[in-house]
Amino acid sequence: MPDYGFLSQQLNALCDGVNEPISLLANASALLYNTLENVNWAGFYLLRGQTLLLGPFQGKPACVCIEAGKGVCGTAIARGKTMRVDDVHTFPGHIACDEASRSELVIPLRKDGALYGVLDIDSPLPARFSEQDQAGLEKFARILDSYL
Ligand code: SME
């Protein structure tokens, strides 16, 4: 498991003084993709009305629009809570952008308390994300919230 404290420090260093969300999220996706092991996609979908729109990411090209309530990302935004899915094949309505993906972690982002989008991380391994990973990455998301 990565040192999530150090990851948070790196995120703060990258975000300090940056006032453009797209730039923050682009660097955050690169940091996650290059730090986390066994991850094939790491990035963001941004809420536009009732639709999640593809934002900065690292990995294979992905679907551009996801309706709230659809897939793992849309479910996370509709519920306003983290979705940790050990086997995406058993998740009703999972949207397969990369058929190699087996497990997924989706964490809602908020700006000034209002839903802003989601952080989405995919892995080719089943059950890649532990409770500890979830806790570390939720802290990461809370730091991002503070810069949005
Ligand atoms: N699997 C997601 C779609 C986004 S991709 O994984 C990048 C979902 O079911 O919402």
pLDDT at 98: 85
Mean pLDDT, contiguous 10-residue spans, the chain (148 residues): 95 96 98 98 98 98 96 98 97 90 97 97 98 98 98
d(CA 81, CA 99): 25
pLDDT at 5: 96
Mutation probe of ligand 1 site: the residue of 57, 94, 99, 102 with most atoms within 8 A of C-beta:
94
- Is the whole model's pTM more than 0.85, yes or no? yes
Nearest atom in ligand 1 to the alpha carbon of residue 93 is 9
Q: What residue ranges define each of the domains in the chain, with the CATH number in brackets?
A: 4-147 (3.30.450.40)
Indicate which residue's Cα is closest to atom 6 of ligand 1: 97
Which residues have C-beta atoms less than 6 Å from ligand 1? Answer: 41, 62, 66, 71-74, 94-95, 97, 101, 104, 120, 122
pLDDT at 1: 86
Mutation probe of ligand 1 site: the residue of 47, 120, 129 with most atoms within 8 A of C-beta:
120
Q: Which is nearest to 121 in space by CA: 10, 16, 37, 13? A: 37
Indicate which residue's Cα is closest to atom 3 of ligand 1: 95
Helix axes 4-15, 21-35, angle to 10 degrees: 150
The DSSP bridge pattern shows strands 83-85 and 65-67 to be unpaired
Q: With helix as H, strand as E and coil as C, how does the chain read?
A: CCCHHHHHHHHHHHHCCCCCHHHHHHHHHHHHHHHCCCCCEEEEEEEECCEEEEEEEEECCCCCEEECCCHHHHHHHHHCCCEEECCHHHCCCCCCCCCCCCEEEEEEEEECCEEEEEEEEEECCCCCCCHHHHHHHHHHHHHHHHHC
Q: Element (H or E) spanning 28, and its range?
A: helix 21-35
What's the 117 CA to ligand 1 centre distance in angstroms?
13
What's the 15 CA to ligand 1 centre distance in angstroms?
25
CA dihedral of 131, 146, 143, 124, whole degrees rounded to 10: 60
